[in-house]
């Protein structure tokens, strides 16, 4: 009965069975997290369960075993998919701006605050006195 159910499971899936998949060390996931899954494009290669992502993790594991560094592994994928496959936008080229603009924004914010708090012509004495008086009144 159990065998029958397992065979049923066989017919419902599309993953081929060549033998058990390889073991993946934490390092594999650390690198896979920096790559995007080409199929489930919102997820990283570590999160996605699509066939391509599974294959990418396998490749990363194999390359780590061969002694390749993380940079070389990422370059391997960039060579095939373009820079798009990197989950973190590289700090050069057209994506440089996505890093620069927040810093520019912060600078502009500083300027804005400075302009806001710059001492202006003081308000007329009578208005300030009235404001003080109202503040000292007990709350209604």
Partner 1 sequence: MRGWLWVLVVAFLAGLFWWGMQRNPKELPSVLAKERRPAPDFTLPLLPPYRAEWGEAFRLEDHLGKKPIVLNFWASWCYPACYEEAPVLEAAWRRHRERVLFLGVNTQDKEPEALRFIAQFGLTFPQVFDPRGRVAVDYGMYGVPETFFIDGEGRVYARHAGAIDEATLEKYLKEMLP
Partner 2 sequence: MTPALLGNLSVALALAFSLLGLALALLAYLQGDGRFLKGAKALAPLTLLSALVAFVALEWALLTHDFSLAYVARNHALQDPLWVTLVTPWAALEGSILLWGLLQTLYAFVASRKPLDPWRASLVLAVLFGIQVFFFGVMATIASPFQTLPNPPANGTGPNPLLQDHWMMAVHPVLMYLGFVGLSVPFAYAVAAMVTRRYQSWVEETRWWTLIAWGFLTAGKVAGMWWSYEVLGWGGYWAWDPVENASFLPWLLATAFLHTAIVQQARGAFKTWNFAFVTLAFSATLLGTFLTRSGVIQSVHAFAEGPVGPAFLGFFLLATALGLGLLSRVSREVRDVAVFHPFSREGALLLGAFFFSGWALVVLLGTFYPLLVEAFAGAKVSVGAPFFNQVSAPIGAGLLLLMGVGPLLPWRRARKEVFRNLYLLLAALALGTLLGLLRGYTLGASLAVGLFLYNTLAVALLFAEGVRARRLAGLSPWSFLENRRRVGSLIVHFAVALMALAIAFSQTYRLEAEKTLYKGQAWEVAGVRMALQGVRALDEGRRFAVEARLSTDRFGEVRPRLHFYPQMNSPLPSPKVIYTPGNDYYFLLMDFDREKGEWASVRLVVTPMVFWIWVAGVLMALGTLYILWPASRPEAAREVSPA
Quick one: 54 or 70, whose CB is closer to partner 1?
54
115 binds partner 1 (CB under 8 A): no
Binding to partner 1 by residue 38, rule CB under 8 A? yes
Q: Which range in 26-34, 56-64, 66-74, 125-133 contacts partner 1 by CB under 8 A?
A: 56-64
Residues within window 111-140 making contact with partner 2, judged by CB under 8 A? 112-113, 116-117, 120, 123, 131, 139
Tracing tokens 């710059």 back to the chain, one arrives at 118
18 binds, among partner 1, partner 2, none (CB under 5 to 8 A by kind): partner 1
Residues across the chain: 140
- Calpha distance 97→106 (Å, rounded): 14
Residue 67 DSSP code: T
Q: What residues have CB less than 8 Å from 84, skipping those under 6 apart?
A: 36
d(CA 126, CA 114): 27
Backbone angles phi, psi at 36, to 5 degrees: -90, 145
Q: Give residues in contact with partner 2 (CB under 8 A).
A: 2, 5-10, 12-15, 17, 20-26, 28-29, 34, 36, 40-44, 46-51, 57, 82-89, 94-95, 97-99, 101-102, 105-106, 109, 112-113, 116-117, 120, 123, 131, 139
């Amino acid at each position: 009965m159990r065998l029958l159910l397992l065979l049923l499971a066989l017919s419902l899936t599309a993953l081929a069975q060549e033998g058990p998949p390889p073991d993946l060390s934490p390092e594999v996931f650390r690198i896979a997290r920096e790559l995007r899954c080409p199929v489930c494009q919102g997820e990283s290669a570590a999160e996605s369960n699509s066939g391509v992502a599974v294959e990418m993790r396998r490749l990363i594991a194999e390359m780590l075993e061969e002694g390749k560094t993380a940079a070389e592994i990422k370059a391997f994928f960039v060579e095939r998919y373009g820079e798009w496959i990197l989950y973190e936008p590289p700090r050069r080229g057209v994506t440089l701006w996505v890093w620069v603009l927040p810093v520019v924004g912060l600078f502009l914010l500083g300027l804005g605050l400075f302009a806001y708090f710059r001492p202006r012509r003081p308000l007329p004495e009578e208005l300030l006195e009235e404001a003080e008086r109202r503040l000292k009144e007990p709350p209604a």
